[in-house]
Structure 1
């Protein structure tokens, strides 16, 4: 099934023409394709933010949509270029953890694109978005099978997420995964993780010197300006401030900060 839609998610920004060149390549090869911009404002090189953004929207598109996602700090290196296929969708992008949430939550088949099909004769190695990933997505939109220009890879058990861990005292240490537009802090721990641990609830949360006693269901359940925690719309643990910006208030560093969960 092919919906005739390609979505694009990048960290390219919109001022330099990088996104436009990717779209031009796709339109030259597959003029009929509808291209949908998701965002080009992912923080530069922030793979986790891109992974979460992709997970937030992918399944709300028609079945058969091709999701092109390019946040690629390793461009030009020997990292693989991937096609990932689930029952409903196809994903194209770099092999750097960008698809880890899809891999963890969907049965899938994984392929490594033969780079020589697209890059043979290309003298530079700094724009695989235009030269490799965009034409690969266009070929798929034209109905080419992945196996015609990629080789199937074995299934993986390590998908690249910074894992949470248990301390000796039984508390759970969870890294920050991303910060959204509102300054809400999203953590690498979801409701299903809690269920798999056979723990009925979170008793308390410690983060950046603050302690939150359990979860609420929605933001305005706390007074304006108050810190709160909840399961967000994709079931990830989130800390927010009602009407405020939690990340700014707590001076969060997504690459370093962790929280401590007490569960029971």
Structure 2
């Protein structure tokens, strides 16, 4: 069995190691794969992007275990859904409806609720072990409507413009915004455009980072299909002054695309 792990634990503490230890006690031959453990704490939008852009790349019947914001509600419940023959396990913290939106089918809930992170992790490990033993049959579990339904942060579309927000900054400081290629092309309709990034403007979509000289700015659609602002062999986030969107801030940055 393959189990992917996604969390906001980071590596300063031992939480990632403890999680793997609990899982391996019950699933000693499981293959544990780290998707990411450096999600910005409590940043649901970033966690959703990382899950959505990764899950479909795995073999059928992979279990994707989200350890993000487990105790969003206390006591905490364990939710599971099946999508594209993949199994997503999460707490009821808004991740499933935000990530899959209209594609989200039945959401099943474990009959136990727990009062701590470690209890939830143990419950998840036992559940995943049982899932394998029962040939991935979750039909016997009760269904539920997730209690947490966050508003999806969408790009603001107007007749001649789109206003976007930053949803992820990767290790290279490439900046991902909440706009897919399909959404962009549907609004563009063959028109010229300019992307306003604070004091800089881009007017061309590149296919690869090397399309521009070293240290030059560019815009492309990444492997997940989202628009990305980058600098060839440079740090776009730092050099362009772009930061991760934070819904708790009253003022945040927009990246505006105007169609001409």
Q: Would you say same fold, with TM above 0.5?
A: yes
Distance 1:73 1:196, change over 3 A: farther
Matched-pair contact (CA < 8 Å) for 2:56–2:84: no
2:36 paired residue number: 39
How far off its partner does 1:74 sit?
Answer: 4.6
CA–CA distance in 1 between the matches of 2:170 and 2:97? 19
How far off its partner does 1:134 sit?
Answer: 3.5
1:64 paired residue number: 61
Matched-pair contact (CA < 8 Å) for 1:75–1:127: no
1:162 paired residue number: 153
Query: What is the TM-score normalised by the length of structure 1?
Result: 0.81
CA–CA distance in 1 between the matches of 2:118 and 2:191? 46
1:252 paired residue number: 242
Equivalent residue in structure 1 for 2:138, among 139, 146, 151: 146
Matched-pair contact (CA < 8 Å) for 2:198–2:255: yes
Matched-pair contact (CA < 8 Å) for 1:30–1:141: no
Of stretches 244-253 and 131-140 in structure 1, the one that deviates more from structure 2 is 131-140
1:231 paired residue number: 221
Query: 5+ residue gaps in structure 2?
Result: 246-251
Distance 1:15 1:210, change over 3 A: closer
1:13 paired residue number: 10
How far off its partner does 1:21 sit?
Answer: 2.5
The C-alpha deviation readout for 1:20-46, integer Å capped at 9, x for no partner, is 332233223333322222332323223
Q: 1:114 is paired with a residue of what secondary structure?
A: strand
Query: 5+ residue gaps in structure 1?
Result: none
CA–CA distance in 2 between the matches of 1:202 and 1:155? 42
The C-alpha deviation readout for 1:101-139, integer Å capped at 9, x for no partner, is 7514856432233333xx3xxxx5344652443433333
